[in-house]
Amino acid sequence: MYQLFYYPRNASFAPHMLLAEMQLDYELVLVDRKTEAQKNPEYLKLNPTGRIPTLVFEGEAIYESAAICLFLCEQHPEKNMMPAQGTIARAKFYQWLFYLNASLQPELMVYFYPQKHTCDESGKAAIKQAQQQRIEEMLSLLDNELENKKYLLGDNISACDFVLFMLLHWGSGLNRPPLSFPNLERFLRDMATRKSVRQVCVTEETSLALYV
């Protein structure tokens, strides 16, 4: 059985949805950010970064959301959550997974936590304003990629789409939110109808009202 250490709507959101989509046997362990439980000594033994999520399998801890998603795909190839090895489609899978994890997500983090990127209290607003533009450019790229495609890789859903849904949901409060992009809007509304997404959102007490 897998153990997912999570907190609602954190970076654990994507692996949580993936576990549900793949219908795997897993247990949720809440890491309460309100009490900074991710900094507790016991949790730091599992994940020394002091961040969420962590996946425990066969006594070993794995952290970083994208790495967890990739591990689950490799453990269960029969679930078809990533394309076959050696194909161009697999390369595209890596491309989008790494883009979402290493490009879009960090830009969102700067937007959400500008105080961590300046020593000037008055500079936070300027950082957020600049980030809005940077993120909008990235959302435009993703919107163009989804033109005439249901998912990032085409007609077949992959782990990338759950990471994308997580990040787009995080960005719902932007001045130009993902729902203002036609293809991202279609993608979000479609993903919000999936049984796995709805199941996880009930568990995490996350509203899908924006998408229905």
Q: Cβ–Cβ contacts within 10 Å for residue 110, how many?
A: 16
Q: Based on the fold, state whether residues 110 and 155 are members of the same structural domain.
A: yes
Q: Based on the fold, state whether residues 129 and 59 are members of the same structural domain.
A: no
Rounded average pLDDT over 14-21 = 98
**Among 5-14, 56-65, 119-128, where is mean pLDDT lowest?**
119-128
What is the rounded distance in angstroms from the CA atom of residue 169 to the CA atom of residue 171?
5
The pTM of the full predicted model, rounded to 2 decimals, is 0.96
The residues with which 56 forms a beta bridge, in sequence order, are: 3, 61
The whole domain housing 200 covers 88-211
Rounded average pLDDT over 123-129 = 88
Q: Based on the fold, state whether residues 137 and 62 are members of the same structural domain.
A: no
Residue 124's pLDDT band (boundaries 50, 70, 90)? confident
Please report, as a single letter, which amino acid is at residue 74.
Answer: E
Residue 17 pLDDT > 90: yes
**One-character DSSP codes across 90-109:** HHHHHHHHHHIIIIIHHHHH
Residue 190 pLDDT > 90: yes
Rounded average pLDDT over 189-199 = 98
Q: How many domains does the chain have?
A: 2
Q: What is the dihedral of CA 80, 84, 87, 90, to 10 degrees?
A: 50
Rounded average pLDDT over 151-162 = 97
Average pLDDT, the chain: 96
Q: Cβ–Cβ contacts within 10 Å for residue 116, how many?
A: 10
Q: Based on the fold, state whether residues 46 and 112 are members of the same structural domain.
A: no
- What is the reported pLDDT for 11? 98
- What is the reported pLDDT for 121? 82
| Residue 56 backbone dihedrals phi, psi, to 5 degrees | -110, 130
Q: Are 210 and 179 in contact (CB under 8 A)?
A: yes
- What is the reported pLDDT for 178? 98
- Tell me the two tokens of residue 204: 């995490």
